[in-house]
Structure 1
């Protein structure tokens, strides 16, 4: 008999004795999760590199991995993550290696398990919320206009580098804009 997923150790489910000292980010995250079941964090592009977006609360509310998208317009990625969040809430959690059609501008997305070495630099808000690492996180990869994902033959080098390959450990990832976040 399977023991099932581990208990949630987030700041909503467990009293760590610091609830009166939570910052605005944590309080806003709690409000979003309480109201919608998850929150989406937007990290705007800056001089260090492209932006990204990720969820907090899917594990707490639905025992589904958290999700992250990278390298696109943060508001478009937010909408994509919210679409996937609604699918998860309806009982369709994603799995490593799965592809889903028509999620981003009519194009499919693919899910890849994130290596825990990326958790703190890329998902710091989720790590702080859950107070543990690793927790399950999937990268949501998007294809080029031809429907090819960055790891597939036929994609050009700029597109291959437009999204990190977080399923690789940081040591295995090619140096570039994404590894500067480490």
Structure 2
């Protein structure tokens, strides 16, 4: 076992996960971006987390915060979930998907194998609160490759399913008839 994996194993045993940073090298394409990901959450049957395009220290902080919620609090994030309390005055969106050529969590894949590995990406907005899948997102300035396309829910608005009725009672129909 290499020193890298031995050190990583010790960190995972101590904290429940480790964070790995991948920085572009001179051999990478000019548009390659840094990314970071967790290793260790798979052992607890949770998806590993990945984030792209941020400086390593900020990526590390965000991954540690969400990994702590997953590992210590049992938090689960569905595809398209918006998380409002990670970045001041902005939301992060969680995407579920598979590794890509741009976002390849090599150490997690080596440790757990492709069959076991589940992956969720934390996608951050630009300063104008636009995400990579939205019109006018400055993709050149804020390059952020994605592991999956956003769900339709993220791209369009939905009408409310139920409205508050008189005296705060909910009205409308749900499964099995009117809501009491």
Question: Normalising by the residue count of structure 2, what TM-score does the alignment of the two structures yield?
Answer: 0.72
- For the pair 1:101 / 2:84, whether they are aligned, the reply is yes
Residue 13 of structure 2 aligns to a residue whose secondary structure is helix
Higher helix share: 1
- Mean Cα displacement is larger for which, 34-43 or 150-159? 150-159
The superposition leaves residues 87-143 of structure 1 with CA deviations (integer Å, 9 ceiling, x where unpaired) of: 112121222111101213542211112234x27961110011113435210111110
Structure with larger Rg: 2
Report which structure shows greater RCO (CA 8 Å, sep ≥6): 1
Change (3 A) 1:64 1:122: same
Q: Separation in 2 of the partners of 1:119 and 1:60?
A: 24
User: 2:3 maps to what in 1?
Assistant: 24
Change (3 A) 1:31 1:100: same
Superposition CA RMSD, Å? 2.1
User: 2:38 maps to what in 1?
Assistant: 55
Count of aligned pairs: 144
Change (3 A) 1:166 1:132: closer
Q: Unaligned stretches of 5+ in structure 2?
A: 150-180
Q: Unaligned stretches of 5+ in structure 1?
A: 1-21, 169-182
- For the pair 1:67 / 2:49, whether they are aligned, the reply is yes
Q: Separation in 2 of the partners of 1:163 and 1:121?
A: 10
User: 1:151 maps to what in 2?
Assistant: 133
Q: Separation in 2 of the partners of 1:106 and 1:129?
A: 36
Question: Normalising by the residue count of structure 1, what TM-score does the alignment of the two structures yield?
Answer: 0.71
User: 2:105 maps to what in 1?
Assistant: 123
In the alignment, which of 116, 137, 144 is matched to residue 163 of structure 1? 144
1:156 positional shift? 2.4
